[in-house]
Amino acid sequence: MRKKFPTSAELLHQLQTHGKLTLRRSLLLVGLLSLPTIAAQLSYFIMQFIDASMVGHLSTTASASIGLISPVTWLFSGLCTALTVGFSVQMAQRFGAQDDKEARNIMKQGLVVATLFSIVLTVITIALAFVLPTWLGGAAEIRPGSTAYLTFFGASILAIQLTSMGSSMIQSSGNMKLPGAVSVIMCLCDVFFNSLLIFPTTTYTFLGMSIEWPGANMGVAGASLGTGLAELVGAAIYLWYMLARSPLLKRRSGEHVHFNRSTIVTAFKISAPVAIENAVTNSAQVVSTRIIAPLGTMAIAANSFAVTAESICYEPGFGIGTASTTIVGQSIGAKQRDMAKRFAWISIALGMAIMSLGGILMFIFAPQMIGILSPDPKIIEAGSTALRIGAIAEPFFAASIVGSAAIRGAGDTLASSLFNAGTIWIIRVPLAIILCPLMGINGYWLACVIQWWICGILFLWRVKSEVWLKKVKWAN
């Protein structure tokens, strides 16, 4: 009889009980945990791609209004992700130590803190929506769309935060399949809501029958609201599963949330460098948009489409990185130092291989990828050239994405933040200021390539140095 392959749960249990996994089993575990998260990240990319494509077929002005404000939405989304890391890393380590009860308590504390944090971010975002488009240098015709998009985004931050929390907390328990499934559901919901909200009521003819599809004709605002509603669906599913269905996370009779000062302080110690990194990194993206804005509406739209198209290449890297954070965190919780080191390198190698292949495909099919997003020949030409420049750096970009995620599993977030944020401000922004007036958006993308190369090399050095393991005093 053919030998049955072990499941990810069986392999994680072997790791948690201090078993030594062979290289073959280690590779299998990384693969089993990575595939669902890669699927989840790709479905998130598809959601972004759908939004950009739908708006892109409205007008160049509509596309530019989103492109102008996108770095600001990344900034606030990044802060939500940072808070998530502080609690999910602790949960992964508790699961690795087979302390499920404490992991559940950390989950409950995280959900309460996340809700309060999201309310504060919502107020700030909506207030900024009315001033930022002007400060960013957007032309008068694109500012109203930018304001509307950012306002609806701000209203959906709680859903975004709970979706991020739910996905990461469930993954920290070793369940990678549900987040993948939920991402697909959110993608389908995004298409449905966008089709209702972006366009006016339209009559379609199919097999001789006329079908009237209702539409609110909200344009750019409809794209933001549609995505927010899709996030709300995802948040609801995650909360239901965590609190009512998950074998490891669901509520137990007699277990109530106990706010532990040590847990919350540790969460903020882990999250703070990540939050600072995201704030500094995405602030640099905002400044970069300010650098690109004088190049005109077409340049803003082309750059935005190139960023969206490139995400098909790096989303798998983030998926592998998520799996790496979970496995490294559980290895440390199980006091398996050698396993933590092995899983970090396997994850990095896998990420570099997949993103290198993605970079090759992106280079070849760049015009077709941009063409799906916009029918404008000038945007296709400018966007595809920028995309091909970016493709050169994908292996090093992968090293920075996965390397950063791996050492975060050990709680080493400070070095990660310094490398990512530091190289953007010290290398990318100054180079963009110099190169954009000379080369247009191609100058910005060349600055990105140089920054990704250097950042990737720094992370490879950091992982090799093993400083991130030495900081975990109880790992030996």
Query: What tens digit of pLDDT does each residue of 151-186 get?
Result: 999 999 999 999 989 988 888 787 878 887 888 899
The count of C-alpha atoms lying within 13 angstroms of the C-alpha of 228, restricted to the half-sphere facing its C-beta, is 20
Nearest to 459 by CA among 417, 408, 409, 403: 403
Phi, psi of 210 (to 5 degrees): -95, 125
Residues 474 and 465: their CA atoms lie apart, in Å, by: 18
Q: Is residue 153 part of a domain?
A: yes
**pLDDT higher for 47 or 307?**
307
The torsion defined by the Cα of 242, 245, 251 and 252, in degrees rounded to 10, comes to -150
User: To the nearest whole percent, how much of the chain has pLDDT over 90?
Assistant: 31
Confidence of residue 8 (pLDDT cuts 50, 70, 90): low
Which residue matches tokens 């890393």?
89
The whole model's pTM is what?
0.71
- What are the helix (H) ranges across 200-293? 220-240, 261-292
Extract the tokens encoding 22.
């062979």
User: Using the 8-state DSSP alphabet, how is residue 294 labeled?
Assistant: G
Q: Is residue 47 part of a domain?
A: yes
Question: CB neighbours of 170 closer than 8 A, spacing ≥ 6?
Answer: 178, 179, 238, 241, 242, 246, 249
Residues 11 and 323: their CA atoms lie apart, in Å, by: 14
What average pLDDT score do residues 344-359 get?
92
- Residue range 25-44, pLDDT digits in tens: 877 777 777 766 666 666 66
Confidence of residue 464 (pLDDT cuts 50, 70, 90): very high
Which residue matches tokens 């009315």?
130
Q: Is residue 388 part of a domain?
A: yes
Confidence of residue 409 (pLDDT cuts 50, 70, 90): confident
Q: Is residue 187 part of a domain?
A: yes
pLDDT for res 174: 75
**pLDDT higher for 453 or 317?**
453
96-105, 201-210, 242-251, 295-304: segment of lowest average pLDDT: 201-210
Q: Is residue 1 part of a domain?
A: no
Nearest to 402 by CA among 360, 343, 448, 334: 343
pLDDT for res 408: 81
Residues 169 and 111: their CA atoms lie apart, in Å, by: 10
Instruction: Give the chain's end-to-end CA distance (angstroms, integer).
Output: 40
Residues 72 and 132: their CA atoms lie apart, in Å, by: 9
pLDDT for res 253: 79
How many domains in the chain? 1
Q: What is the mean pLDDT of the chain?
A: 84
Q: Which domain holds residue 347?
A: 8-475
Residues 53 and 58: their CA atoms lie apart, in Å, by: 9
**pLDDT at position 474 over 50:** no
Q: Is residue 3 part of a domain?
A: no
Which residue matches tokens 């959906």?
156
